[in-house]
Structure 1
């Protein structure tokens, strides 16, 4: 037998064996099924009685339970969920939320509640909910246990429990809403100060730093993660050993250093901090993964009196950066030649003479009296579906200059007019609502559009 034939037979045998083993593995996979589960928070902080302040956009208490072998997973109330705080009544009590008020699915008292639910239960979407709240007379720091039991149709009891603590760590950051007259090409230094305005200690701090167009990180902290798709614009840092007592603050060194663009008039950055055992705010997105930076490590220091001046805000804290520069937008005169009832195209050009981009502008076109616009700029809103790009209000077309214009760039808007006779209209450029160009030559912001005889 040839060496080639032997090799082919060996290959065929290996393939058959692989398929056979794969078949057995497949049978095992078919036998494996998703398990019934109940899920609750391991730890949850409770607002003190009568106090409605607290963290910004806190994630609500969440219970999920699922019986994968239930005959009916939704709508049929053939399962039992029991919530019990017996033994912890000094710290926590139960509160039933039922929007119907008649024949509630949940019944019981402040220590034990029984709910009739479906085979798939989610306290964020189901109408009947049981919440743990701070007991009357409880004090910050008091704690207790909330026990959950979910019965499946096969008679199995799934259990879980949550440790609750009265009082909350409320993490806030020092913020400067607007940094004004920042030099183009400079390095902006912003202090990173974290404060606990809550009733119980912060045990571990998470921090997110993000920059927008116009500023960039001067360095990448050695103990922060930079997620791959946002490595130039987002840093995520964790300090599990950092404890901040109520009413105290810490400063992280070195300060946040940002390179300021020479070509943008406006930029922004934002910061967010949270207690690690509470997690980020409800709508916050904190990417996972990423490599550590190669710059200095963020280190914790005691906050000075100067650090505590200013405003402290919870949640996602935004700061605007206004760069000390300007942008000179220019429009040019346009002359229209043509016989009456002829159609003529006008090219309305807006140019940015720089040196910076303000990030937004509008071109306003008032056609000459007696002319009719028969064609205007269009934009695609779906495949082969278009709509006018410019808004029309009281005879004036308003065309947004998307993203503004970089210095030295121009944008042209074409309109086709049916000529009705001599007349003069106008074209001008103006800021969008949130920009101010500090235009050094406002005279070239307006120009005539003239139909000549």
Structure 2
């Protein structure tokens, strides 16, 4: 429901680490090794899976603050009895096979940024639900050994949310009620679910007691976590009561979204605002449900909303006086008489009077100190994007011309090409003022 919501949320991703500290007047962080406590593996040959899963993350430091890129050793071992479930994948200067790998690493190591890498993958012949354990050992320059273990599970929960493509003819300021329906199409159960609701340009008419509403988005974003919620493969749950949203009174086009993820998998690309007070409404709770026909979207998606209103745009006549060759600067003005805010849908088409030559036009900075014409020009016609224009607002475009013989040009407002089925442009109910003239006379 992505208007596409800072820091990756890794709730439920247990981290195993060993840390020691050196005391003294200027203490430095002690040696440490950090690996996921549990990590889910994609079954062999299956590339489908959750769209936002946090990749396997392994990091280590020897606590010296050094920047050496070598001189330390990282080893990974598949423990006995785990070989049928998990194997090792290596890259960079790592050596070894499917059950034992050794890598030369530095004083500060992170497999997300450093090329020597080793990570668990599903073993050939493994099946969803199989589990195994991988032990990682980091040896510092002084010979100290730190260990961490990761429980690897073959198969992943894959969460999808029920969405609606779009809603049209919604009354300005009306209240909408939308269900939250989630299903697991993965190979293994999900234990713990994260949910983020985004109201876009709308607002929550009711705030759940077990969800956070982070500042400054407290009327527009809710973050909810259900650490005890289990959804077996193929099962569906409905979260009740349904979300209540209050539509905007002016924004003609907006959206709301549901983002869902398994807490144990974390979020890689999605960012979740921190903090926020709990709501004062009812508690959002899950109950078993059935899976209606879609559209279902992996990880959640957007529902677009179009209000039953319009935006009356207008342009004004312009008169330029002077003998041929006279230099004149003038402004073309577009205004929105409302009542709706249609966003950036309109374009101004400017056809100068014959014989009038433009010597200066609106410019935009596309790089530091580098400018280019803002309006497109072709066949002596200028087309300018008006951009967002709130009710009562105006947008002006300043041109300078050398006048020609007396004559007449025109100004015309057009909507851009619809971006989707729900995009109806301005729905201008007074198209007569979409056209104006620009005249040149003595």
Number of the residue aligned with 2:293: 309
How many correspondences in the alignment? 413
Number of the residue aligned with 2:329: 345
Number of the residue aligned with 1:81: 74
Number of the residue aligned with 2:440: 451
Equivalence map 1:103-122=2 (5 Å)? 105-122=93-110
**Correspondence 1:50 to 2:34:** no
Equivalence map 1:254-333=2 (5 Å)? 254-280=241-267, 282-304=268-290, 308-333=292-317
**Correspondence 1:441 to 2:430:** yes
The answer on whether the counterparts of 1:266 and 1:320 sit within 8 Å (CA) in structure 2 is yes
Distance 1:86 1:223 in 2: 41
Q: After superposition, give the CA deviation of every residue in 1:172-217 in whole Å (9 maximum; x if it has no partner).
A: 111112112222221122110011111111101111011222x111
Distance 2:318 2:370 in 1: 27
2:383 to 398, 402, 405: 398
Distance 1:390 1:53, change over 3 A: same
**Correspondence 1:238 to 2:225:** yes
1:210 to 190, 198, 214: 198
The answer on whether the counterparts of 2:254 and 2:304 sit within 8 Å (CA) in structure 1 is yes
Distance 2:438 2:65 in 1: 74
2:119 to 128, 131, 134: 131
Q: After superposition, give the CA deviation of every residue in 1:107-130 in whole Å (9 maximum; x if it has no partner).
A: 111111111222222212222322
1:157 to 108, 130, 145: 145
Distance 1:226 1:133 in 2: 37
When structure 1 is superposed on structure 2, of 406-415 and 194-203 the one drifting more is: 406-415
Number of the residue aligned with 1:226: 213
Distance 2:109 2:248 in 1: 51
Distance 1:94 1:382, change over 3 A: closer
Equivalence map 1:407-422=2 (5 Å)? 407-422=391-406
State the Cα distance separating 1:402 from its structure 2 match.
Answer: 3.0
Number of the residue aligned with 1:424: 408
SS at match of 1:321: strand
The answer on whether the counterparts of 1:67 and 1:73 sit within 8 Å (CA) in structure 2 is no
Scaled by the length of structure 1, the TM-score of the pair is: 0.86
Distance 2:433 2:412 in 1: 8
> Where does the alignment leave 5 or more consecutive residues of structure 2 unmatched?
1-21
Number of the residue aligned with 1:370: 355
State the Cα distance separating 1:153 from its structure 2 match.
Answer: 0.7
State the Cα distance separating 1:386 from its structure 2 match.
Answer: 7.4
Q: After superposition, give the CA deviation of every residue in 1:228-268 in whole Å (9 maximum; x if it has no partner).
A: 22211110001111111110010011111111122121011
> Where does the alignment leave 5 or more consecutive residues of structure 1 unmatched?
1-26, 99-104
Larger radius of gyration: 1
Two-structure CA RMSD over aligned residues (Å): 2.2
